[in-house]
Structure 1
Amino acid sequence: MQISGSGRSDQLAKILLGTQETKGPSPQPQSSQKEAGNDRVQISDQAKELQRIRALGQTPDQERAARVEQIKNALEHGTYDVSGRKVGDALIKQVLTDAVL
C-alpha cells in the first residue's frame, strides 16, 4: 500500500499518532526535582494493627506448647483420661457461643 501526498511517511505517522517534533529538551518543573528526595510512606492505623496481630500470631506460645507436650506424653503412655462430662459441656458451650455470634 502506498500513501501519496506532499509529506514524508514519517511526518504522516507523527500527525496520525498525535506526536509533534519539539525543538530541544522540554524544561521540567523545578518543584518535581525538589520533591523527588522527599518521598514518604504512611501506614494507616489499620495496617499497623494488622502487622501487630500478625506478629502476635507468629510468636510461639510457650504455655500452649507445654500443654500439648503434656497431652502428647499422656497419650503415648495411655494415661490420658477424658471426662465425658467435660467434653459434653464444652460442646454445648461451643454451640451456644456460635448461635449467639
Structure 2
Amino acid sequence: MALSPAERKRRQREREKHLDIRPFTMQLAANERAAIEEAASLRDFEDQTEYVLALVYKDRDMSRKENVCTYPDCRCPFDMGPDGRCLVGKPRKQKALSDE
C-alpha cells in the first residue's frame, strides 16, 4: 500500500529527529561555489553536500592518523606519563586507530 504524503512527511520528521538533523549554511562567493560544483562533478558526486562531507571525513581521518603520540619515537620534550598518557595530550596510536 502506498504511503500518503502526510505519512511520508511524518516519517521524514521522525527520521530527522532521530538523526538530530539540523540545517547548516555557509556563505560562499561565486568562485567558491563554482570550485565545489566543478570538483564534485569531476569526481562523479551528484550532490555537492556529499562531496564536501567526503572531504571533511577524509581530513578528519587523516588528522586522527597523523596527530597521535608516537612515544618513544617522537621529538617531544616529555617522557610518557606514569599513567601511560601523552603529556602533550595526543591520543596513543593504537587508540586513535581503533576509533575508526
TM-score band w.r.t. shorter chain = under 0.3
Q: TM-score, normalised by structure 2?
A: 0.23
Structure with more of its chain in helix, by fraction: 1
Bigger-Rg structure (1/2): 1
Q: TM-score, normalised by structure 1?
A: 0.23
Asked which structure has the greater RCO (Cα within 8 Å, sep 6+), the reply is 2
